[in-house]
Amino acid sequence: MPKKPDSDFHKQQDDSRWEMLSHLIVFQLKLIMDGLRDAALIPVSISAGLAGFFFRREDPWLWYREVLNWGRATDHWIDLFDAHKDEAPPNFDEMVEKTKQRLDANDTDKSGPEQ
């Protein structure tokens, strides 16, 4: 007699597949945000550097450093490769997780108590 498949094992595989798909979608969103940020930083950093060079004799680095600091902060927030996952302040992954939790809670509220 053939062995009956273990439903818990199949549920784990399905959960893992959906988790992977969710991670893939979040990673694509992070790539888009990172690319848009990088595209925006090109003209902003050039402008800040040249403005500092021509107009800030006492501290030509001031505006350029501000751009670099903003770039570091957004890099930390986007956290493209999960290097800052366990650090504060909150990052994009935490925002996605909170959204998932709210959606799950909303689905549970709509379906009522489990029977």
If one compares 15 and 71, the residue with the highest pLDDT of the two is: 71
11-20, 51-60, 73-82, range with the lowest pLDDT = 11-20
Give the tens place of pLDDT for each residue, 88-97.
667 788 888 8
Q: For all residues of the chain together, what is the average pLDDT?
A: 84
For the cut 80, the answer to whether the pLDDT of residue 106 exceeds it is no
Three-state secondary structure along the chain? CCCCCCHHHHHHHHHHHHHHHHHHHHHHHHHHHHHHHHHHHHHHHHHHHHHHHHHCCCCCCHHHHHHHHHHHHHHHHHCCCCCCCCCCCCCHHHHHHHHHHHHHHHHHHHHCCCC
Q: How high is the pLDDT of residue 65?
A: 96
